[in-house]
Amino acid sequence: MHSQQVTAEPPSNDRVERDSTVGDVPGVLRSPASGADHAPLVFDVIIAGCGPTGAMLAAELRLHDVRVLVLEKETEPKSFVRIVGLHIRSLELMAMRGLLDRILPHGRRRPAGGFFAAIPKPAPKGLDSAHAYLLGIPQPVIEHLLEEHAIELGAQVRRGCSVAGFEQDDEGVTVELSDGEQLRSRYLVGCDGARSTVRKLLGVGFPGEPSRTDTLMGEMKAGVPQEEIAATVTEVSKTHQRFWLRPFGERVYSVVVPAAGVSDRAEPPTLNDFKQRLRAIAGTDFGVHSPRWLSRFGDATRLAERYRVGRVLLAGDAAHIHPPIGGQGLNLGVQDAFNLGWKLAAQIRGWAPETLLDTYQAERHPVAEDVLDNTRAQMELTSTEPGPQAVRRLLTELMDFDEVNRHLIEKITAIGIRYDFGEGPDLLGRRLRDIDVKQGHLYGLLHRGRGLLLDRTERLTVGGWSDRVDYLADPTAVLDVPCVLLRPDGHVAWIGDDQRDLDDHLSRWFGKPAT
Ligand SMILES: Cc1cc2nc3c(=O)[nH]c(=O)nc-3n(C[C@H](O)[C@H](O)[C@H](O)COP(=O)(O)OP(=O)(O)OC[C@H]3O[C@@H](n4cnc5c(N)ncnc54)[C@H](O)[C@@H]3O)c2cc1C
């Protein structure tokens, strides 16, 4: 075990913070008057889990000098190579933090279309993004790159440490590891995946539906020629959407096939299970052999009732699970982290407006609700029953209408999200694309995770907020409004040209100005 002694006290917003909603969760909030002897408060935030969500959150917090420790149960990074798709909004986030160039060489660019229920329609022309493609990349690679980025920024990651318990009080959270060690921080964030210990201990409900179908997934060699496999797969895929054998290196295939029933997820399937199911569905087992790894996934769909109880928050799969159709889970988790990072940092640095941290749940819970719904819909569309097949044919026709296709793609890629910031032009609450500005690209100005005022009038100022918000005067910026105020996550917090109105909005999102 190693720990970093940091003696400088950061400015703190940690006045006694009584979350009015805490009271209905028994035993969660204790008063320090109970006389507990706490471990020293060395960290501002402890993150449980170093998956993509935890690593992204750690990096975002470090941009604001927050003392962060990530505890990861596994001693080694994951080894099995599942290819995941990074969708447009996640690629934009990577560009906003200067990570895209580092990530791109490890993945394969694919067209952005064809992901809704795997209906093979190309993306509509002119998607509103400078990064309008999908990047297929092995999940362990993206996890490694995000963890490396977090460590470079100064996050501590301790592997082989499992969070087993915690207790929160008015000033912080005492986190207990499975070996009994106790650590203390101001906040704890559960990024510990679908079976989140943090969520369970918090007593937060996780309503939804259990798995109804299981799918086997693995990598193995095949014993028949590729052309033969391709011909059979093309035929079978006409009726089975959860079925493929995709070449993946020297005679190695990524194999996906529906399981016979729902089983215990902790029990990995055997090669024999794959052979039986391939024979049942394709009439041949393709002579599969020499598996690299075998796994299964279900279609359980659940959403945490709350994302925050006092000083403990949830993000990523710990807060929501759904079938992988459309490839949205990792993207959703990384985007949760991007939304939460600057808000939690603001709380710790002492400038967060009263309700800023609660906007995390207010903004992200509805987004997850929508993703859960679209995956439910997509799963229905993969059914081989005549009714869902008919709906699938109808939707396939409807997707020839540009508006329909665009709506579905903007949903899956998360570029259609509009947070509710109140009345205003359509751009308010949406993310701004990576437009050209006089210094190059807009996203190049967001690497430090600060707010940005982009001023085409050249007469506004960020005044006393200049320690949190950057300023760019650029009459040539490709925008059809006079000025925009961007939050650190790139969402448009204000549009206008009036200084007093701007000051009100700076206060709303960035707290009191420095004196
Ligand atoms: C077959 C399949 C295909 C998929 N394809 C895609 C795709 O194309 N695109 C996409 O966006 N998503 C995809 N997903 C979903 C994606 O893999 C998950 O949504 C993503 O891994 C969630 O990231 P996370 O960091 O929230 O959780 P996880 O990746 O589950 O990470 C949680 C981490 O917490 C650790 N942990 C657990 N308990 C503790 C504890 N008590 N203490 C400390 N550490 C703990 C775990 O070891 C783990 O490292 C797919 C999923 C499946 C099953």
Q: Is the CB of 53 under 6 A from ligand 1?
A: yes
Which residues, 6+ apart, have CB-to-CB distance to 24 below 8 Å?
Answer: none
Distance CA 129, CA 410 (A): 10
**Is residue 140 predicted with pLDDT exceeding 60?**
yes
Nearest CA to ligand 1 atom 26: 316
In angstroms, what is the span from residue 317 Cα to ligand 1's centroid?
6
261: number of Cβ within 10 Å: 9
Tell me the three state secondary structure of residue 352: coil
Q: Is the CB of 197 under 6 A from ligand 1?
A: yes
Q: What is the pLDDT of residue 33?
A: 36
Give me the residue label for tokens 């579905």. 408
Q: List, as one string, the DSSP characters of 487-514.
A: -TTSBEEEE-S-HHHHHHHHHHHH-SPP
Q: pLDDT for 447-465, tens place per residue?
A: 999 999 999 999 999 999 9
Q: Is the CB of 74 under 6 A from ligand 1?
A: yes
Mean pLDDT of the chain: 90
- In this structure, of 79-88, 163-172, 269-278, 415-424, the range with the lowest mean pLDDT score is 79-88
Q: What is the mean pLDDT of residues 396-415?
A: 96
Q: What is the pLDDT of residue 35?
A: 42
Q: Is the CB of 237 under 6 A from ligand 1?
A: no
Between residues 21 and 167, the one the model is more confident about: 167
Q: pLDDT for 496-506, tens place per residue?
A: 999 999 999 99
Q: pLDDT for 36-60, tens place per residue?
A: 567 777 899 999 999 999 999 999 9
Q: Is the CB of 496 under 6 A from ligand 1?
A: no
Pull the structure tokens for residue 253: 């295939």
Q: Which atom of ligand 1 is nearest to the CA of 139?
A: 17
The sign one gets for the Cα dihedral 82, 325, 96, 153 is negative
CA distances from residue 349 to 65, 67, 149, 168, 492 in whole angstroms, order as listed:
9, 11, 22, 20, 23
User: Which residue ranges form the domains of the chain, and what is each CATH number?
Assistant: 4-76+143-208+302-366 (3.50.50.60), 215-297 (3.30.70.2450), 436-510 (3.40.30.120)
Q: pLDDT for 81-121, tens place per residue?
A: 778 899 999 999 999 999 999 999 999 999 998 889 989 89
Q: What is the mean pLDDT of residues 159-177?
A: 97
Which residue from 73, 79, 254, 413 has its CB within 8 A of the most atoms of ligand 1, so it is best to mutate? 73
| pLDDT tier, 12 (very low <50, low <70, confident <90, very high otherwise) | very low
Q: Is the CB of 218 under 6 A from ligand 1?
A: no
Q: pLDDT for 346-358, tens place per residue?
A: 999 999 999 999 9
Q: Is the CB of 82 under 6 A from ligand 1?
A: yes
Long-range pairs for 221-225 at CB < 8 Å and ≥24 separation?
A: 221/251, 221/252, 221/253, 221/288, 221/289, 221/290, 222/251, 222/253, 222/286, 222/287, 222/288, 222/289, 223/286, 223/287, 223/288, 223/289, 224/284, 224/286, 224/287
Which residue from 139, 141, 213, 371 has its CB within 8 A of the most atoms of ligand 1, so it is best to mutate? 139
**Is residue 62 predicted with pLDDT exceeding 70?**
yes
Q: What is the pLDDT of residue 9?
A: 37
| Phi/psi of residue 234, nearest 5 degrees | -60, -45
Pull the structure tokens for residue 497: 């040209």
Distance CA 280, CA 295 (A): 19
**Is residue 404 predicted with pLDDT exceeding 90?**
yes
The identity of residue 236, as a single letter, is V
| pLDDT tier, 267 (very low <50, low <70, confident <90, very high otherwise) | confident
Q: What is the pLDDT of residue 239?
A: 82
Pull the structure tokens for residue 212: 């109804």
Q: What is the mean pLDDT of residues 329-337?
A: 98
Could you tell me which residues are beta bridge partners of residue 470?
452
CA distances from residue 297 to 201, 240, 244, 265, 321 in whole angstroms, order as listed:
24, 16, 15, 7, 11
- Answer for the pair 166, 176: CB distance below 8 angstroms, yes or no: yes
Which residue from 94, 211, 242, 317 has its CB within 8 A of the most atoms of ligand 1, so it is best to mutate? 317
